[in-house]
């Protein structure tokens, strides 16, 4: 982003949900009340705008970076703030949010609602003794819907031809909340080794797993490390290494699988990996 998103105002459209902070209600140039409109259509009305910026507003930019939509955000905000949030441009302004798990409403900046850990009650529950006892436990979450790329499917297939992979786990309990949930959903889970594998690609728009999403990936890795899991990140198609266990590649190949097996042995020991190896190719 070429400007600090919190200093760009909404052109007078979103004040009902905000905190009244000067940085959240001012304009981009700091001239005190210039009506600004953005390329995405948010901000001041076209007839009132004195400045039209040829870029999306900070909130739309953050939504794009975190792969979310404004409609998803509107479903989480308390009803009194929906009209303002529909036109909001700022990411540092507070709104009242509805916990998806049925807890009390809570106030937080838009930025935190998109990238933070969730409501305070969810955070407290995730750190309770019972929850911490379950931290690190892999399990099957029924009805879990995640996007799986062809590359991820190919990696699972090739790796599954070399070692035995479980098919009845798709989530791991953690001792904190991640996007408001007490679990994470890695691409590939190997419970016997307590290792998760993530396949990161920038995607067609070349923005995935960069910027805030990269920061989020590292937070996810840290949450798993807290409960005794290691994460191997396969960084493909131009993404650089992040974290202690990164493998940079140009795509899914047999050589990539060899590198993953070598790293698994380095993390958990050759004997542990050997115990999972298939004696014959899987059918």
Q: Is 171 helix (H, G, I), strand (E, B) or coil?
A: strand
> Per residue in 262-277, pLDDT tens?
999 999 999 999 999 9
Predicted local confidence at residue 251, as pLDDT: 92
Contact 108, 94 (CB under 8 A): yes
* Closest among 116, 131, 163 to 282, alpha carbons compared: 163
Q: Helices 212-226 & 58-65, crossing angle to 10 degrees? A: 50
Whether the per-residue pLDDT at 174 is higher than 60: the answer is yes
Query: What percent of the chain clears pLDDT 90, i.e. is strictly above it?
Result: 54
pLDDT over 80 (residue 184): yes
Residues 14 and 86: beta-carbon distance below 8 Å: no
Q: Print burial letters for 84-112: b (CB count within 10 Å at least 16), e (below 16).
A: bbebbbbbbbbbebbbeeebeebebbbbb
**Confidence at 129, pLDDT banded by 50, 70, 90:** low
Distance CA 131, CA 113 (A): 23
The alpha-helical segments, DSSP class H, found in the chain are: 22-25, 58-65, 70-76, 82-87, 110-115, 120-126, 129-134, 150-160, 212-226, 254-268, 270-274
Q: Residue 1 has what pLDDT?
A: 29
Confidence of residue 170 (pLDDT cuts 50, 70, 90): very high
Say what the alpha-carbon torsion angle 252, 256, 257, 260 is, to the nearest 10 degrees.
-130
CA distance 119 to 121: 6
pLDDT bucket at 13, cuts 50 / 70 / 90 = very low
Question: Quick one: which of 128, 122, 70 has its CA closest to 99?
Answer: 122
* Dihedrals phi, psi of 41, to nearest 5 degrees: 95, -5
**What is the structure's pLDDT at 241?**
95
User: What pLDDT is attached to residue 120?
Assistant: 84
pLDDT at 127: 64
- For residue 55, pLDDT over 50 is answered with yes
pLDDT of residue 40 exceeding 60, the answer is: yes
Residue 47 has pLDDT above 90, yes or no: no
Whether residue 57 contacts residue 70, with contact meaning beta carbons closer than 8 Å, is answered with no
Determine the longest span between alpha carbons in the chain, in angstroms: 72
| Residue located via tokens 């949900």 | 17
In whole angstroms, give the CA distance from residue 232 to residue 247.
7
Report CA-CA distances (Å) from 231 to 38, 184, 198, 217, 276: 40, 12, 7, 10, 18
Among candidates 135, 131, 100, 134, which has minimal Cα distance to 118?
100
- What is the structure's pLDDT at 131? 55
Q: How far apart are CA 114 and CA 129, in angstroms?
A: 27
Q: What is the mean pLDDT of residues 201-215?
A: 84
How far is it, in rounded angstroms, from Cα 113 to Cα 180? Answer: 9
pLDDT band at residue 27 using 50, 70 and 90 as cut-offs: very low
Per-residue confidence band for 280, with pLDDT thresholds at 50, 70 and 90: low
Is residue 110 over pLDDT 70?
yes
CA distance 80 to 261: 53
Instruction: Look at 11-15, 86-90, 183-187, 188-192 and tell me which has the smallest mean pLDDT.
Output: 11-15
The residue among 158, 137, 243, 168 whose CA lies nearest residue 200 is: 243
Residue 14 has pLDDT above 50, yes or no: no
Q: What is the pLDDT of residues 238-254, one digit of tens each?
A: 999 998 899 999 999 99
Distances (CA, A) of 144 to 23, 30, 100, 131: 40, 46, 16, 20
In this model, does residue 281 exceed pLDDT 90?
no
**The pLDDT of residue 97:** 94
Q: For position 128, what pLDDT does the model report?
A: 64
Copy the structure tokens of residue 30.
Answer: 């700091």
pLDDT at 20 over 50: no
Answer yes or no: is pLDDT of 60 > 50.
yes
pLDDT category of residue 86 using cuts at 50, 70 and 90? very high
Q: Mean pLDDT in the chain?
A: 83
């Amino acid at each position: 982003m070429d400007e600090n998103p919190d200093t760009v105002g909404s052109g007078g459209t979103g004040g009902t949900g905000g905190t009244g902070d000067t940085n959240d209600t001012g304009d981009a140039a700091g001239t005190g009340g210039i009506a600004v409109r953005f390329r995405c259509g948010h901000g001041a009305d076209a007839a009132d705008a004195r400045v039209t910026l040829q870029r999306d507003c900070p909130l739309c930019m953050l939504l794009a970076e975190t792969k979310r939509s404004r409609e998803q955000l509107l479903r989480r905000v308390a009803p009194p703030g929906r009209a303002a949030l529909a036109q909001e441009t700022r990411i540092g302004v507070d709104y009242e949010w509805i916990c998806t798990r049925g807890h009390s409403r809570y106030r937080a900046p838009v930025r935190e609602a998109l990238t933070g850990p969730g409501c305070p009650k969810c955070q407290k529950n995730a750190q309770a003794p019972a929850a911490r006892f379950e931290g690190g436990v892999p399990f099957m979450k029924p009805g879990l819907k995640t996007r799986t790329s062809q590359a991820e499917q190919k990696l699972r297939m090739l790796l599954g031809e070399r070692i035995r992979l479980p098919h009845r786990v798709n989530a791991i309990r953690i001792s904190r909340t991640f996007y408001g949930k007490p679990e994470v959903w890695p691409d590939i889970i190997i419970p016997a080794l307590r290792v998760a594998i993530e396949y990161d690609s920038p995607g067609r728009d070349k923005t995935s797993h960069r910027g805030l999403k990269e920061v989020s990936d590292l937070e996810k890795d840290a949450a798993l490390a807290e409960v005794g899991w290691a994460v191997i990140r396969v960084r493909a198609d131009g993404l650089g290494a992040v974290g202690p266990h990164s493998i940079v590649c140009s795509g899914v190949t047999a050589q990539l699988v060899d590198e993953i097996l070598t790293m698994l042995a380095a993390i958990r020991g050759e004997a542990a990996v050997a115990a999972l190896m298939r004696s014959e190719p899987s059918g």
